[in-house]
Each structure stands twice: as C-alpha cells, then as structure tokens.
A and B are shown apart, each in its own frame.
Chain A
Amino acid sequence: MRYPRLLYLLGLLLMSLTVESQEAHKIKIDDSFENVSPTDFFSRLEKKISYKFYYNPAQLDSFVINLSVQGKTLPEVLQEAFKATDILFSIDSSSKSIFITRRLSIVTELPPGLFYKEDKLINKNIISPDSIPAFDIESKRVTKARAGKLYEIGRKSAQSSGHVILTGYIRNSKSKEPLANASVYIDSLNATISDQYGHYSLTVPTGNRTLNVQYSGMKDTRLQLVVYSEGKLDVDVDEEIRVLKEVVISSRKSSNVRNVQMGVEKLSITSIKNVPTVFGETDILRVITSLPGVKTVGEASTGFNVRGGSADQNLILFNDATIYNPSHFFGLFSAFNPEVVKDIELFKSSIPANYGGRLSSVLDITSREGNKKNITGSAGIGPVTSRLHLEGPLIKNKTSFIFGGRTTYANWLMNLLPDEFKDSKASFQDLDFSISHAIDSNNSLYLTTYFSRDKFSLGNDTAYRYSNRNANIKWKHNFTNRFRGVFIVGYDQYMYSVESDKNKVNAFKLGFDIGQLNLKADFDYYINANHAFNFGVSSLRYKLNPGYYNPLGTESVVNPEEVEVEQARESGIYFTHRYSPGSKLSVSTGLRFALYNYLGPQQVNTYIPKAPVTEANQTGIVEYKKGENIITYRGPELRFSARYAFTSTFSVKASLNTMHQYIHLLSNTAIIAPTDIWKLSDQNIKPQEGQQVSIGMYKNFKSNTIETSLEVYYKRMRDYLDYKPGATLFLNHHVETDVINTKGKAYGVEVFVKKPGGKLNGWISYTYSRILLKAYDTTQGVTINKGEYYPANYDKPHDVTLMGNFRVNHRFSISLNATYSTGRPITLPVGRYFYAGSQRVLYADRNTYRIPDYFRMDFAMNIDGNHKVNQRTHNSWTMGVYNMLGRKNPYSVYFISEGGRVNGYKLSIFGSAIPFINFNIRF
C-alpha cells in the first residue's frame, strides 16, 4: 500500500503546477504489441508520448499484452490493453503522468473547487472494479514472491463459498529444487507440508488470505491471495543468505503435535551434519541411533535396532530402493553420501500402509534433486574418505542431474583395529547418480541409481567383497489437483563374495546374492481437509542365491557346491483413509493386504509333521517346477493411528500396527556381518509377524520452539529365527533343521525434548525399553535358557542421549553430544575346565550378564568461510574430538583359551579420544 500512497502525494504536488491542455487525448498511436510485458509496453509508449507511467511491476507481472492499434488515442489504447481486467489507469496531463493501479484508481483531481475551477484532469475509470470478470489463472508460477502483490486463485466467475483446494510446488528459486516438507499454511487450521517432490495440496477458505511458506534455510514467504475457486500456485522461495544480523528460522512449527502419525523422526541433512561423528564423517546411521527408541549393539555394527526389533527388521530405502547392507567397513561408516542426501525419515511406530515387508521400522532416505539452473558442487577431504558431488541442469529449468561419489583410503585404519586385522587391506566406494526431469507441471520423471562397494582382505589371502546396486525410475503424474500418482519400477541387488587362493589345492570362491525387482503404483487422492486417501499396489519379485562354493583356479580340488536358487513374490495392496473431522481429531486408518508366494523351481524337504525338524525326521523331497507355487502366505495388516489435539500445542496420539516379514537374515553373530545371508520364507520357515500398540503425548512450549513428547509402546513378535547350537547357515540345504522359532516381547517409554531452532538447538532423549525373547517351540527339542524369556543382544534398558548445537555466530558453531546406555547383555562363562590340551570356559544361560555401561561424549566445531554470495567457492572446516573423554567403552567381553590358559578380555572399538578434521569446498 505504500506505493500508491506515495503516488497520491506525488499527484498532489504535481497539482500545484499550471497544467496545459488535455494533450493525451490528441496523441495518436500506431503500434502492435505481441506478448509484451507491461513494463515493455509502458516503456514503448513512453517513447512515443511524453508521458511517464507510474506503476507497481509486481502487480502486473502476470500479464502479457497482445494488442494492435491504429490511430488510437492514449486512453483508447490503454482501455484496449487492459480491458476485461481490473487494471485501472489515471492520466494526469498536468504532470504528464499516468498511474496504473489495480482495483483502486488514483484520483488525480481534487474535489472540485478546492484549488481550481477547471476540470483539467482525466480520471478514466474504465469499468467499476466489481464488474471486472476475473482473468483466469489456471497455473501461475511465482518467480519471486513479493510483498504487496496480490495473487488470484481460480476463476472469479466460478467463485464458491467455503473451502477450495490450492495445489502447487514449492521450489528453491535459485536451484529450482523442490522443497520437501516446507510448511504451507493460511492459519493453524489450513496448514500442510509439501511432499518429497515439493508438491502441496491445501484447503483454503475463499476470500482474501495470506499464504505462508516456511522452510528452514529459506526466507519466510507470505503471499496475498484472493481465492475464488480451486487453483494452482507454484511458489519459488529465496534462499536465506545469512549476512543479516539476526535470522530466526522457524520450520514446521507444531507439526509434531499436529501430525496424525506417531513415532516418526525426521532429520534434515543440515542437522545431521551438526552431529560430531567418528573421524568427522557425517554419518546418517550414527545419528539415527541417537534417536529415542533406536539402539545399536555397538560401534562396529552395521545394523540398528528399533524398539526391540532385530537389525534385519528395518526396511532401509534410498529413494525407494531397498538397501540390504547400509554400511561400509565393518559397520564403522554408513554407505550414504551426505552431500546428496536431503533428509531422512524413520518410522518406528505407525508405519504407513504403503510400506510393508519388515517388522520394526522404515528408514526412508531421500536424496536431493540437482540444481536446475547452474552447475554446482562440493568436495570434501577427511581422514577416511574423500567426497565429491556435482549437480546441475541438463536442460535448464527442466532437467537436472546430481552425482555423488566417495572413496576411501582406509588401509591405515586397519592397523588400529584388533590384531586379527593386521596386514589387511580395506577400501570402499559409493556412487549416486540421479536425473530428474519435469516434463510439464503435471508430469515428472526421476531416475535414481546407487552403487556401493566394499573390499577387504584379511592377512593377504582371503578377499571379501560386498556390493549394493540399485536403480529405479519413477514417474509422477498429477491427474487432477486432488489426485496424483507415482509409478516406480526398480531393481535392487546385494551380493557378497569371499575368495581365497593361498592354498592352490583348496582355493575357492564363495558367495551369496539377492536381487529384487519391484513395481509400485501409489496414489494420493485429496478430497478436502476432512478426507484424504492414499492407496496403491506393489509387487516384489525376489531371486535369491543362498550360496555357492566354487573352486578357484585349475589346481583346486574344491567340490563345487550350490544351494538351489530361491524365488518368491511378495505383493501388497493397500489403502489409507485420513479423516480429520475438525481441527482436534484426526484419524488415519490403513489396511495392507500382503500376499506372499514361494515359487519353484525348488526341491523342498518334508518332515514328519509335529516332530522336531531334524535331518533324522526328514521324510523326503518334493520337486516343484519352474514358476510353480510352493506355498502361499497371506495376511491383512492394520495400520491405525489417531490424534486428538486438546489445544493447538497439546495432543494425544495412539496407534496400532501389524506387520509381516517374509525375508530373514541368517546371522549367528550379535551384529550384521557382511557375510550374513538372507533367507526367504518357505514351507518350513514361517514369515515373522509383529504387532505394536503405542500411545503418546505431545506438547510444545514457548510458541512451538520447544517440542516435547512421551511415547509408550508394547510390541510382540513371532517366528523370529534363532539358531541351534553349532548351526551351519551357509551352504546348508536344510537350514530349517538348524533354526529355532523364537517369539519376543518389547516394551518401553521414550521421552523426547527437542529444540529445533534458535542459537541453541538440539535434543535430549531418554528411553527405557526392554526386549525379551523366548524359544517357545518345545517340540523342537532344543531350547535356549530352558524355554524361558531372555534378553536379546541389544536389550539396553536405559538410554540417555543429548545432542546440542550452539551457533556462536554465522560462521562458527559448536556441537556436543553425550550418550549413556546400559551395557548390552552377554553370555559370560560360569566355570572353567581342562579339555583338549587347554583350559576352557563353560558357558551357561544366554545373556545373563551385561558388559559395563556405555558413556561417550563428542565435540565438534564447524567453521565456515565468509558468506559473501558472489565468491567462487565457499569452504568450511569441521574439527572435533570423538569420544572426548577417551573412555574405553567395551564393545564386547570375551574369554578365550590361549596357550593352555583362559584369559578374559574387554574389547573397545574406540578406546581413546579420536580427533578429526574435515575440509569441505562448495562451488
């Protein structure tokens, strides 16, 4: 409003001058304008006539002018140009000024008789504002959101009262990257967040509204809307350049209270990067394990355990591709390049119905889309890895790519590991490459590939390798504003191999691989603020090679052996209805129906019914032909969650989940080892089943800057696999004879206090949780701990984590984290005896003792170079100390017979303070 008022004052000033005759009427104009912007239009006119145009470009930038005039006067031209719009003009011939406004016209004359008797001014009011037919804007792209500009949504003619739907994309104005999880809201009732493609759908009451877009790291954007009927509005948001004295970023305020889902943890890569990690390598999985309800067996363990689930019960998705082994280097580093990751989301309680196939959790890792405007990139150097990432447009504003690669020079690390790794070599690489292409505003295509490779050799003769390979194509299509679909085709593969050629006679190569072809069609249908649907179908085709053992070289007399390839199909159909009858209650009801077929060709062992499954009780082998269905498992899965918001900052949520898992990790160690193999459910190995109920309370304080939550859960699982003593898992043609079915119960309380923004930010969490297992199947003859409940390896009842970050100024921040947990259970020997030439230890019940408690503090400093926008490169340093107190936290305690004696040892993976330094360049 400032602008018109200024003009008005200007007008008043001008009025004091003596003015000539009504020249504007006389000038004749001959010209034609084709797709000309108002600015150009006016400047062309300014050249022809001696008048000056005054206008606010922001108000007019959505117009183009197509006009051809012959001998028309200026008022006639303007009238023609802006007919059927609400654009008004006023001509002040005394000052040779023309004022262009919308809806409100400038009165260039004073009330008659105030100063002048004569009417020298023309005030051409073309059409009264109310009778203007609104110009139709079906889709508008807002290049730069400007204050004071008014955006009209929908057709005025189709004006409806009540609520309409507004959809569109939120993008970074510079890179054109879509912004996921940006808060889009009118007020607290009409609020939503954008999806991973930056798309949002919001119910908006008609009339004059203010649309707010907030995203951390971006400028808060407010747009003035006049909403008539449903429409589209794409918003490009500017990056916040931190040269200002003070910036307050509030992101996703109150979403923890308002979201109907519970047990969801979402972290952006920015907050992950603040967390100090070992060797300064930004590590997604390490940060995950600091969240409440997530545990790990120890520092060198690949897996993580969510609410009492085992490590194989987590579905780890990288851009919808399943990653079977998410770590490098014995689990010390996670296999995801922090430069390309955008954010991560962990579902540990209410798992949306569009995910299935794992019991405990879904970890969804999303990578960024490439910059659509300029080629940019970054490079980093650390003690363990070097990283490079590049991104940029292939077709400007339409197609972009992003590439990330990491490689290591970790051989020196081997010398720091326990003695058995001496003289060993290790290396790893990972590569990500993605292309995103916007076909038009309703269709987008995405290609994502991922590759990771690890190689290590122990003592120069045995070489281990493992590798993840993933590729998928996604097509996203908006059918209507309210209905959109995503179609995915992908292939995921994991493999490992072991080669040894030290002894030519026994030289061998053995290995395992699994491949899965997956198809998914996922639809979102948004009816209104009260009802929304998500539904779809998915299908997975597994091909699993359980193991081969082949001679290596010509001298080898190794007998080639191979366990028959396993095949199966896992299909799911799902449907979720989100119902929010008012602002207080919201209910999400999801149903997933899973169908699993174990398919031939396969030779299936049969056993005496109800007798222990042992080799002695085998009755025969049944042969199945290719593609023949051997056994079908099916089951409905319920995913229910509800939220009741007592106030806008306090809510209570509850959820109920049931899950099935058809693929099992066969592992005899406490952790995931790279050489563990997976097994599909078959007629002798039942799928795992799990149920979880949870209740939580959520309260935000200090205008949503402090989020607190308390969640309680109880979980049951069945048919989880444990192993008989001396079980052989690899190259076993009858694994079913070596496993024991186990059931488990887990329960816990998680308390979480988080301050997401501000100078001082971070979180504190406390978890009390138990996970108890029981080998319940007494018909199997073998039990563990006499068939009683015993704690699982990762049962750590108390767990406290503090993650803090303090931004001293814009270039310097410090982070501190501290974590304490109860020591994990171990099986300790209870006696000692002499056998086979040596003293040996006697073990009794499993997991009856615990290793000493774990406590660690880490510290890091991030130092950024200057923040001048226009410099070529931006660099930053990260340095810090991992395990600052140098505490020798035990990873395991074990007893070993050495030279005839029994010795007990306590092994710490990181037994001292580990300083690190990292250098990053952004270009």
Chain B
Amino acid sequence: MKKLFVSIAMIMISCVSCKEQYFPPAESLQDQLLVVEANLDAGGGPTTVRLSRTTKIDNTSPIQVENNAAVFVEGRDNTIQTLNFTGNGNYFSSNLNMVINNEYRLRIRTSLGKEYLSDYVKALYNPPLDSINWERTNDGVQIYVNTNDPANVLKYFRWDFIETWEIHSYYNSNLIFVNGNLRSRIFPGENIRDCWKTSPSTNILLANSTQLQSGIISKAPIQFIPVNDEKLLFRYSIIAKQYALEKNGYNFFEILKKNTENIGSLFGPQPSELKGNIKCLTQPDEPVIGFVTASGVTEKRIFISNGEVAPWHKGLFCREDSIANHRDSIIAAVGGGLVPITYLDAPINRYLFSTPFCVDCTSRGATNIKPLFW
C-alpha cells in the first residue's frame, strides 16, 4: 500500500522545488564605487594591486578598470614604495621590501584626483603550504590543501589556485587552410592536437585553525573535479597559493563569500554589510570595496595523471566529413566552420574535415604552447 502511494506521488510530482533564472529590476543602479584588490607580498615577491569599478547588476555591462592612478605603499616606518601602472587596472611592484610584523597601508590617488587610504595592516609571515592531496571518490576527485604554522600563531588562511590540464583533439590535423589554400602544417608551432588549458580559481577559499588544538589545517577542500571531466582525461596540474590573514581580513573574505557564494540556500544567511579597510579621504561617506592584506605568498604545485584516477573516460562524438578535392567544395567547407584533417590518397582522393572542437584544441580556450612547468 505504502509503496503504491509513494510511487503515485512521485510520478505526479515533476518539480517540487524549482530554481529559475531571475533578472533584477532595471532600476538597480549605484554610483561606480572603487574596488581595490590587493595583497602586499610581505615575503619579497611581486605584488599586483588591481583597481576597478563596480558596475550595473545586469550582465551586459562590462567591468570597468581604474587606470592611471598613483598607488603607494606607506610603512609606519615612513618608507614609501610606488607601484607602477602596467595597464588594465593593474599596478605592479617586483618587491615592496616589507619587514615582517611592521605595518603598512595603501594610498591611492585616482586620475580624477580622489584620494583613498587603507588602514594599517601588519605584514604577516606565511608558513609554507604543506601539501596538496586529493581523493578519488565515486563522484570525482576532491583536492585538498594542508598547512600548518609550527608557531601556532597564524590561524587564518586563504588560498587561490590556477589549474592547467592537457587536452587533445580527436583528430590529428596535418593540413592548414591559409590564404585560400590548403597546405601542410609546420610542427610544433601549428600543432592543434595537443593543448593546455588554464583556469584560475573563482571561489574564495578559506580555513582557520581556531577550533583545532594545533595550528594544523588538514584537508581544506579547494577544488572538486566531477568524474570524467575533461580536466583529468590526460594530465592535470594545480598550483595553490596561500595567504595568511588576520582575523579582520578573514572576516571580510568570509562575509564576501557568504554574501556572494553561499547565499540562497534554505538556511542561507542574509546578506550582510561588507566593510573593507579602505576609506575615501576626499569624500568620507563614499564606500570603497576591498580589504588590503599583507602576507607572504607560498605555493605548491601537484600533478595528477589520468592513470591515477582510472576509470576516467569521456567519449567524444566526432565525425569526419569527406570533401571532394575541388576548390569550391573546400572553400564551402571552411566557410561552414569546418577544419581540415588530412587528405586521403587515391583511389579515394578526398579531404577529411571535421568541427573545430574535434580538430582544433586551440578553439577550446586552450593554448598549444606547452607550459614551462609541464
């Protein structure tokens, strides 16, 4: 009886809970606020400060960057370091010569003459990133970081990472269509079979050891690769960067994460006010987004190959079109978006073409230049 009812109910209910795309009301506008993204590398490494502006909520308007500002790092010890504008909202210094445990702040003067100043932040030493490990589960591969401050002083950490993975085209093309003609490819420069794809992390990754006996952070999850994903079809590499934080900096990232990544679940928190550590001196009530931190950057890279996670396959559905050895046919095929693979000799005397996805790995957002670390 019971089973019967359950199954009836299940058949009849197609969608109890539904998630639909939502487009906000058009009037949601806000003055373009300055956004400051900065970790001052206290360990003597290169520092990039990125300045941009907020924009309208709808996804059509692009993010504006803030160019041609003057950016300085001021120490309590009266040292001043200048960061140089390198384009696209980025300001760079190869070494800020910071002293661990000294305090520094960031001063920004925009091209329109507005001046912004951060609170003083302590330059933090950053223990080495212990290790990156991973686990194969039925659903995929979960990647973790482990770290530990032997002094048990630093308790708050943030990570970001860059992933790189190898992809291969289904067909190995030895022909290229250039200037209206087909010719043989010149390897390795024109190789479109072997590529490497790179992607940075998009989520805020945080962990703290405040509730642990020692300063050991064990298995903080940073990335999950679903089973049979293209990332692990051949070989995969991830480099994680670690930043140490003070409590207020950690809180900033935690609120930012809650407000922008964890919201909307049934018990999801309400968005709360995000307070950074930067103020506008010219116009004190103008909010500024961002939290300047100062920490050394430590990093670690690992590789995972397909054999280590087997079984891990993906069937690609690729089909070649055979095109007559005729100029008009070839031009029509190329115009239709197809890419040449190879020429079949007599008695067939036809060219094989296929879609870019199956032939040209660079069309999949990847580069055919082998990374140095590979």
Contacts and interface: CB of A to CB of B under 8 A. Distances in A.
Partners in one complex: yes
Interface in A150-196: none
Given A834-B52, A835-B37, A917 B260 contact: no
A758 interface: no
Contact of B55 (A330, A832, A892): A832
Q: Which of A386, A506, A831 has the most CB of B within 10 A?
A: A831
Interface stretch (A47-55, A132-140, A836-844): A836-844
Contact of B256 (A330, A723, A836, A894): A836
Contact of B16 (A549, A782, A899, A914): A914
A910 interface: yes
Given A832-B55, A843-B271, A726 B264 contact: no
A419 B253 CA distance: 25
A130 interface: no
A416 B17 contact: yes
B37 A836 contact: yes
B181 interface: no
Interface stretch (A356-364, A702-710, A901-909): A901-909
A731 B210 CA distance: 11
Interface in A723-751: 723-727, 731
A840 B24 contact: no
Contact of A906 (B21, B25, B30): B21
A838 B260 CA distance: 10
A897 B202 contact: yes
Interface stretch (A669-677, A687-695, A711-719): A669-677
A462 to B, nearest CB: 13
A279 interface: yes
B33 A829 contact: no
A418 B59 contact: no
B9 A916 contact: yes
A843 B54 contact: no
A60 interface: no
B265 interface: yes
B18 A837 contact: no
A888 interface: yes
Contacts of A900: 202
Interface in B240-268: 251-256, 258-261, 263-268
Contact of A828 (B20, B28, B160): B28
A416 B16 contact: yes
A50 B25 CA distance: 99
A300 interface: yes
B57 A832 contact: yes
B289 A549 contact: no
Contacts of B56: 831-832
A324 to B, nearest CB: 17
B2 A386 contact: yes
Contacts of A723: 272
B16 A835 contact: no
Chain A, interface size: which category? 35 or more
Contact of B213 (A557, A829, A846, A915): A557
Interface in B277-312: 289-290
Contacts of A671: 266-267
Contact of B2 (A381, A419, A899, A903): A381
B37 A418 contact: no
B218 interface: yes
B202 A833 contact: no
A412 B6 contact: yes
Nearest to B200: A837
B151 interface: no
A833 B266 contact: no
B266 A330 contact: yes
B5 interface: yes
B248 to A, nearest CB: 9
Given A832-B54, A905-B19, A897 B5 contact: no
Contact of B57 (A300, A731, A902): A902
Contacts of B179: none
Interface in B21-48: 21-25, 28-30, 32-33, 35, 37
A831 B55 contact: yes
A382 B52 CA distance: 57
B6 A383 contact: yes
B5 to A, nearest CB: 5
Nearest to B11: A915
A893 interface: yes
Contacts of B204: 836-837
A119 interface: no
A910 B289 contact: no
A901 B59 CA distance: 8
A829 B18 contact: no
B15 interface: yes
Contacts of B78: none
A139 to B, nearest CB: 49
Nearest to A906: B22
A835 B35 contact: yes
Contact of B24 (A727, A904, A916): A904
A374 to B, nearest CB: 26
B8 interface: yes
A916 B15 CA distance: 14
Contact of A917 (B5, B15, B18): B5
Contact of A829 (B28, B160, B255): B28
B212 A559 contact: yes
Contacts of A840: 256, 259-260
A559 B17 contact: no
B289 A843 contact: no
A841 B219 contact: no
Given A412-B6, A833-B35, A835-B256, A420 B265 contact: yes
A61 interface: no
Contact of A827 (B14, B201, B271, B290): B271
A894 B264 contact: yes
Nearest to A902: B59
A689 to B, nearest CB: 24
A838 B202 CA distance: 5
Q: Which of B30, B216, B251, B264 has the most CB of A within 10 A?
A: B264
Given A725-B255, A829-B28, A843-B273, A896 B57 contact: no
Contacts of B272: 668, 723-727
Contacts of A895: 24, 57, 260, 263-264
A919 B8 CA distance: 14
Contacts of B337: none
Contacts of A724: 272
Interface string A763-796: 0000000000000000000101000000001000
B264 A896 contact: yes
B153 interface: no
B193 interface: no
A248 interface: no
Nearest to A723: B272
A557 B218 contact: yes
B274 interface: yes
A831 B202 CA distance: 18
B15 A558 contact: no
Contacts of A899: 202
A846 B270 CA distance: 9
22 contacts: A279-B9, A330-B267, A383-B8, A418-B265, A557-B214, A558-B211, A559-B213, A671-B266, A673-B266, A725-B274, A827-B271, A829-B271, A833-B52, A838-B260, A843-B271, A894-B263, A903-B21, A904-B21, A904-B23, A905-B19, A906-B22, A911-B18
Interface of A: 279, 300, 330, 381-383, 386, 409, 412-413, 416-420, 503, 505-506, 508, 549, 557-559, 561, 668-671, 673, 675, 723-727, 731, 782, 784, 793, 827-844, 846, 849, 888, 890, 892-912, 914-917, 919
Given A417-B17, A505-B216, A901-B59, 11 more contacts: A557-B213, A558-B211, A725-B273, A830-B28, A831-B57, A833-B54, A833-B289, A894-B268, A897-B203, A906-B22, A910-B16
Q: Which 6 A-B pairs rank lowest in CB-CB distance, beginning with the nearest?
A: A911-B18, A894-B264, A416-B16, A906-B22, A831-B54, A383-B9
